[in-house]
Amino acid sequence: MKKTLCTALTLVPLVGSLALVGCGTSEHSEQESFAFTGSELWVTHGNKNQPVNVVESTDAHDEVTVNVSSRTMGQKPETPAWSLSDDELTLDTPCGGSVIGYCEANWSITVPDGVEVMVDGQRTAP
């Protein structure tokens, strides 16, 4: 019984990794701009493991631009959900809830010069 259990525990990760063989890496990006005239932007982020980069721009007059780039393997990237309401920008992950596979994403937010940005309560320096 012990040998059967050990064999089964060895085969499960092997079968999972074989499922990914032949799966190529998929890259996807989305971008959207929102009208914004505030002096502070509060960002709520759905996945703390995905970095958020904040960039100030003299060209970004009265708007905030959100860009997400994702890379997946063994799963399909989802269209990220984001929204801006007053001074709060909500970002949701473009990575699905699949157990098998790999997904990473990088967020970039471009704001007008002088806008202070807080990501999950932490002040960021552009």
Is 15 strand, coil or helix?
helix
The DSSP symbol for 27 reads E
pLDDT band at 23 (very low <50, low <70, confident <90, very high): low
| Amino acid identity, position 62 | D
- Is pTM, for the whole model, over 0.95? no
Look at residue 4 and tell me whether its pLDDT is greater than 70: no
- Find the length of the chain: 126
Residue located via tokens 């970039």: 108
The pair phi, psi for residue 81, each rounded to 5°, is -100, 130
pLDDT in tens, 29-79: 889 999 999 999 999 987 777 789 999 998 878 999 999 888 888 776 677
The pair phi, psi for residue 19, each rounded to 5°, is -65, -25
Dist. CA 57–CA 41, nearest whole Å:
14
pLDDT in tens, 72-102: 887 766 777 789 999 999 998 777 666 677 7
Q: Where are the domains of the chain?
A: 25-124
- What is the structure's pLDDT at 19? 47
Quote the percentage of the chain above a pLDDT of 70: 74
